[in-house]
Amino acid sequence: MAATAKTVLPEESELNVQELNVSWPVLQTASVYIGKACEWHNNEFMLCREEEGDPRRCLNEGKHVTACAMDVLKKMKKHCLEDFNAYMYCLERSTGSLELTQCVILYSIMFVS
C-alpha cells in the first residue's frame, strides 16, 4: 500500500504504546516463550493485516501483541531472572552471530524444569 496525499494517518494518541526497550539478545532468549504465550494475539494481528490489507486498521491488535510480550518479559524477570540472564549472556558471548547451538545444551535443563 503506497501512501498518497489522501492517505489518512492515525492520530498520535492511537500510536502510543509502551515499547519493548530491550536488546536483541534479550528478545532472542525470550523468543520461544513470547511466541508461545502470545501466539493467539500474534495470529489475530496477522489475520487482521491479511484481511484488512491496511496495517493502520490493526493497531489495537498490534498493541495486544506488544502488551503480551511485555507481560512475558515481566514474568520471566520476576520468576527466573538469574537463569534467564545466564542463558542470555551465553548467547551474547558464545559467537559473533549469537548462535543458539552452544547455549541450548548448557541451559535447556534450566528452562524445562
27-85 confidence digits (pLDDT tens): 888 998 999 999 999 999 999 999 988 888 898 999 999 999 999 999 999 999 998 88
pTM comes to 0.74
Instruction: Give the separation between CA 82 and CA 110, rounded to whole angstroms.
Output: 10
Instruction: Give the separation between CA 112 and CA 104, rounded to whole angstroms.
Output: 11
CA angle 49, 51, 53 (to 5 degrees): 60
**Looking at the 3D structure of the chain, how many domains does it have?**
1
18 part of a folded domain? no
Neighbours of 46 (CB within 10 A): 13
15 part of a folded domain? no
76 part of a folded domain? yes
13 part of a folded domain? no
Domain of residue 48 covers 24-112
Angle between helix 39-52 and 24-37 (nearest 10): 90
